[in-house]
Amino acid sequence: MSLRINDTAPDFTAETTAGPINFHDWIGDSWAVMFSHPKDFTPVCTTELGAMAGIAPEFEKRNVKIIGISVDPVESHEKWKDDIKAATGHAVDYPMIGDKDLKVAKLYDMLPAEAGDTSEGRTPADNQTVRSVYVIGPDKKIKLVLTYPMTTGRNFFEILRSIDSLQLTAKHQVATPADWKQGEDVIVTAAVSDEEAEKRFGSFERVLPYLRKTRQPAA
């Protein structure tokens, strides 16, 4: 199963460090970030989960829920939390899914069907494709997918930046240019005529026949 942007995020039930959840019910009317890691007690992942814990309030400000996942059991996640806090200074309070039967990893195309049905005996290398980020909207549609290699730690500020863009462009007929940050100029989409752009945004700059920039609309 290959998941693409605008597909409905597959629903599932799972055990987590915060108790059992139904994924769509857990998301509710919020946005959500589900991010996976190959295995507990591994170096890069330890820094990542701590980094995410450190900026969790920024996600909360944006009405975004965070949930982690690996094919380790919940009991392993709970033990690992102590190491994460010791290494990074941040306590992991967001839920972590224990996907020991690989059900969710397969559902989200992180592992192939032939990967088996248990996490027993699996190494981080066996799980290296379990290294993905899914941003999901309140409509339960997939808005963004990122997959990283084993050796490259993720930049969670980039995920925040992407969410800022996704939330802005969901409300207004604009797009965001390369390296855009909150408060910077945005692009008027082709679906908006010049006349309509003036009514909506007050004014715009025509950079090229097909590229118009304007100030970021108020939220």
Within 10 angstroms of residue 216's Cβ, the number of other Cβ atoms is 18
Catalytic residue among 45, 111, 115, 130: 45
45 is an active site residue:
yes
Confidence of residue 77 (pLDDT cuts 50, 70, 90): very high
- Measured between alpha carbons, how far is 64 from 60 in angstroms, rounded to an integer? 5
The residue assigned the tokens 């939330």 is 167
Tell how far CA 125 is from the center of its chain.
Answer: 22
- Measured between alpha carbons, how far is 66 from 60 in angstroms, rounded to an integer? 9
Using DSSP's 3-state secondary structure scheme, residue 92 falls into: coil
Within 10 angstroms of residue 144's Cβ, the number of other Cβ atoms is 16
Question: Among 5-19, 125-139, 149-163, which is the least confidently predicted range?
Answer: 125-139
Percentage, residues of the chain above pLDDT 70 = 99
- Measured between alpha carbons, how far is 32 from 21 in angstroms, rounded to an integer? 14
- Measured between alpha carbons, how far is 105 from 98 in angstroms, rounded to an integer? 10
Segment 117-140 shows an average pLDDT of 85
For the chain, list the domains and their CATH numbers: 13-153 (3.40.30.10), 172-214 (3.30.1020.10)
Segment 172-201 shows an average pLDDT of 96
Segment 136-154 shows an average pLDDT of 95
